[in-house]
Amino acid sequence: MHKDIATPIRTKEILKKFGFSFKKSLGQNFLIDPNILKNITEHAGLTKASGAIEIGPGIGALTEHLARNSKKVLAFEIDQRLLPILEDTLSPYDNVKVIHQDILKADIHTIVDEEFKDIHDVMVVANLPYYVTTPIILKLLTERLPLRGIVVMLQKEVADRIGAKPGTKEYGSLSIAIQYYTKAETVMIVPKTVFMPQPNVDSAVIRLTLHEKPIVDVIDEEFFFQVTRASFAQRRKTILNNLINQLPNGKEMKDAISAALSNLNIDPSRRGETLSIQEFASLSNALFPIINK
């Protein structure tokens, strides 16, 4: 076994050797604790038959743990300056492919289909760049990649929103979007001290396990998400007012929206944060023909 990249001493050596300076704008907070990396990797439940997709390998701290525990690793890195470093630090591993692309622009589906042809168990495992955590997770889910799950480090505040239940202040359209596709769990709370440089916020690791099919039936996914976003647009307003103000034709369709809520036994004076995902599904199915007339 090779010496871990993620010790403070080795990380400093690597940064110095390549004259690397952190770019805050790219969310570069590298992990410098091998135990945390081991734990993250264990939570992914990889085997020697698994494929791992990493977003933002940095200098390879997590990548090498994934390489040791899976069949193949695909790592997407946006910062060109890291490519020669990764070439060097990951030279002991022949099962890693680094792809120099912005994950938000990459055609991940095609790349995964090509690179993981003979692999049937695929996990995303990453310490995400915090400025784009939500768009990255939503892209992975809405593109319907053939994943078993996602284990990622992110801001604790976002982890709380993702796993939130109805009736709490953290519950919102993000909780619903993610719980529509996955079972969400927070598996670790992580102190700032394990990063270099230390981020300003607390961190957590979440595990998302994909449902075989979404837990509710909706006529139109895009419209379902539109209704949930509309319902939380102004959290202090009632569900009826938010729907009227936010949905296209909402104002003209006020009476029909109000009737749809009553038919579903949803009191129009409730707030969006009290509705379950099942209620949002029934509501969006009832509103679909009304709003999309």
Q: What is the contact surface with ligand SAM in residues (CB under 6 A)? A: 26-31, 55-58, 61-62, 76-79, 82, 102-104, 127, 129, 132
Report the nearest approach of ligand SAM to the CB of residue 77 (Å).
5
Please, which residue, 23 or 144, has the CB nearer to ligand SAM? 23
Q: Which is nearer to ligand SAM, 60 or 272 (CB)?
A: 60
CA-nearest of 67, 144, 76 to 105 is: 76
Q: Which is nearer to ligand SAM, 6 or 247 (CB)?
A: 6
Length of the chain counted residue by residue = 293
Which of 61, 243, 273 minimizes the C-alpha distance to 172?
273
CA distance 231 to 75: 37
Instruction: Give the residue at shortest CB distance from ligand SAM.
Output: 56
Query: Which residue lies nearer to ligand SAM by CB, 208 or 239?
Result: 208
- Of 136 and 147, the one with the shorter C-beta distance to ligand SAM is 136
- We find the least distance from the C-beta atom of residue 162 to ligand SAM, in angstroms, to be 18
Name which of 61 and 239 has its Cβ closer to ligand SAM. 61
Least distance to ligand SAM, CB of residue 172, Å = 24
CA angle 238–278–239, rounded 5-degree value:
5
Q: How far is the CB of 87 from ligand SAM (least distance, A)?
A: 15
The least CB distance from residue 57 to ligand SAM, in Å, is 5
Considering the complex, what minimum distance in angstroms separates the CB of residue 95 from ligand SAM?
17
Taking the CA of residue 183 as centre, how many other CA atoms within 13 Å lie in the half-sphere pointing to its CB? 5
The smaller minimum CB distance to ligand SAM, of residues 171 and 195, is found at 195
> C-beta of 185: minimal distance to ligand SAM in Å?
20
Report whether 284 contacts 291 (CB < 8 A): no
